[in-house]
């Protein structure tokens, strides 16, 4: 069942969204050569506690993971793209890092992800991140009241193929609101004008993620970290979006990055 949110409830989600967006921007600035992934994890834990928020990841135990998850961030490096466990790893020159987080404030949740390059970027990595960001904006633009869920999926898939990337549909976007993962599932490839009708009050997380040279993935022995099957690099972008009568409203927009990083 999909719960339509009122304008007041969307406003409460936006409070969580602003916090998530600001913290992701902060973390992307902290991430640098020589920084340990656990430093980022503990930085986020501290900020969440200071804000009086709750992590949606801590103790999360879905069917696809080896739960419970005992971190507040997913930190995925290079060929890892989703659900990366924070660990004792020091970031190196040229690493591609994806940071994903979801948090709730006063019972309402927001979810977002960003990919950044540590140090000097490889042009191929910049292109990969750009593709996820362009696809995310295309998916958001397609999330119009009166449209269909397939419009979002088709828009994302079209961008992926225009950049020369395949699309994996095992993991994608999802409904969100009172909890992190709600109906519906939103594949990153699909057919326009198909699927559920998008009505004002629908709230979703749109999250394109691509691997450089494959559409297949594998799971680490930790039961969580998802990697490209061929070891190629990956990137991931995500925003929480509300469908309103006047169009899509992004609830997790980040403030401008002071370091002007991609």
- The CATH number assigned to the domain holding 175 equals 3.90.230.10
Binding residue per annotation — 111? yes
Binding residue per annotation — 215? no
CA atoms within 13 A on the CB side of 111: 21
Please say whether the dihedral angle defined by the alpha carbons of residues 114, 115, 117 and 118, taken in this order, is positive or negative.
positive
Q: Is residue 66 part of a domain?
A: yes
Q: Is residue 258 part of a domain?
A: no
**Whether the predicted pLDDT of 257 surpasses 80:** no
Tens-digit pLDDT profile for residues 86-125:
999 999 999 999 999 999 999 999 999 999 999 999 999 9
Asked if residues 129 and 115 have their Cβ atoms less than 8 Å apart, the reply is: yes
Asked if residues 180 and 54 have their Cβ atoms less than 8 Å apart, the reply is: no
Q: Which of 21, 240, 208 is nearest to 128 (CA)?
A: 208
Q: Is residue 260 part of a domain?
A: no
Tens-digit pLDDT profile for residues 62-83:
888 887 999 999 999 999 999 9
Q: Is residue 34 part of a domain?
A: yes
Binding residue per annotation — 9? no
- Domain interval for residue 234: 7-250
Separation between Cα atoms, residue 13 and residue 8, nearest integer Å? 9
Q: Is residue 262 part of a domain?
A: no
Binding residue per annotation — 181? yes
Name the domain count of the chain: 1
Binding residue per annotation — 207? yes
Residues of the chain above pLDDT 90, percent:
94
- Dihedral angle computed from the Cα positions of residues 189, 190, 196 and 200, in that order, rounded to the nearest 10 degrees: 50
Binding residue per annotation — 174? yes
Separation between Cα atoms, residue 128 and residue 130, nearest integer Å? 5
């Amino acid at each position: 069942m999909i719960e339509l949110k009122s304008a007041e409830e969307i406003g409460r989600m936006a409070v969580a969204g602003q916090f998530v967006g600001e913290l992701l921007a902060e973390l992307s600035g902290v991430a640098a050569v020589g920084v340990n992934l656990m430093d980022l994890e503990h930085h986020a834990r501290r900020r969440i506690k200071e804000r009086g928020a709750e992590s949606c990841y801590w103790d999360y135990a879905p069917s696809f993971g080896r739960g419970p998850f005992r971190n507040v961030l997913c930190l995925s490096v290079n060929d890892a793209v989703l659900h990366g466990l924070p660990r004792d790893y020091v970031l190196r020159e040229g690493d591609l890092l994806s940071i994903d987080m979801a948090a709730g404030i006063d019972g309402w949740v927001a979810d977002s992800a960003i990919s950044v390059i540590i140090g000097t970027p490889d042009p191929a990595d910049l292109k990969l991140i750009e593709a996820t960001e362009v696809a995310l904006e295309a998916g958001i633009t397609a999330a119009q009241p009166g449209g269909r869920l397939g419009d979002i999926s088709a828009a994302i898939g079209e961008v992926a193929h225009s950049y020369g990337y395949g699309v994996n549909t095992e993991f994608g976007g999802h409904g969100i609101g009172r909890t992190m993962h709600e109906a519906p599932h939103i594949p990153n490839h699909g057919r326009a004008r198909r699927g559920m009708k998008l009505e004002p009050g629908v709230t979703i997380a749109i999250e394109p993620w691509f691997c450089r040279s494959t559409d297949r993935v594998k799971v680490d022995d930790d039961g969580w970290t998802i990697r490209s099957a061929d070891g190629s690099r990956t990137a991931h972008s995500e925003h929480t979006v509300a469908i309103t009568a006047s169009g899509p409203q992004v609830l997790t927009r980040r403030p401008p990055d002071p370091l002007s990083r991609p």
